[in-house]
Amino acid sequence: MPRKVVIKIKARDGAHDFSAPLNFGLADCCCLAMPLDMVPGKIRAVGSKPVREVLDGLEQMYEDLYGDE
């Protein structure tokens, strides 16, 4: 049985392959895609919330945590 899978993440400059554990999920893929400016598929929502809503909440949190520094 293979212990790793190859994940293909589409980016604007082409596809990139990663070797990853079998239990890798969508969240993990986003983590990999993020620093390389890639798009890990079409994500409509995070949990039950639209991405825009989650982003707004996260930005508010960041401002609250680090805004004074």
Partner 1 sequence: MGSSEGDNHFWQSWGDLWTDESPEFDNGQAWRKHFTSFLGVAPEEHWVFKGRRFKPWISGKLGAPGLFNPIVAMVLSRGGGLLSLYVLHLLAEKPRYGNDIMKEIEVRTHGGWGPNPGAVYPMLTSMEESGFVEGEWEDPKKRTRRIYRLTSEGKDELERIKEVMRPKLEDAIQVLRHLNADLDLDLDVEGGGYA
Which residues of this protein are in contact with partner 1, per CB under 8 A?
Answer: 5-10, 18-21, 23-35, 37-44, 46-47, 49, 51-62, 64-66, 69
- Please tell me the distance from the alpha carbon of residue 33 to that of residue 20, in angstroms, as a whole number: 13
* Cβ at position 67, least distance to partner 1 in Å: 11
* Cβ at position 60, least distance to partner 1 in Å: 5
Nearest to 39 by CA among 55, 26, 50, 20: 26
Give the sign of the dihedral formed by CA 36, CA 55, CA 58, CA 47: negative
* Cβ at position 1, least distance to partner 1 in Å: 15
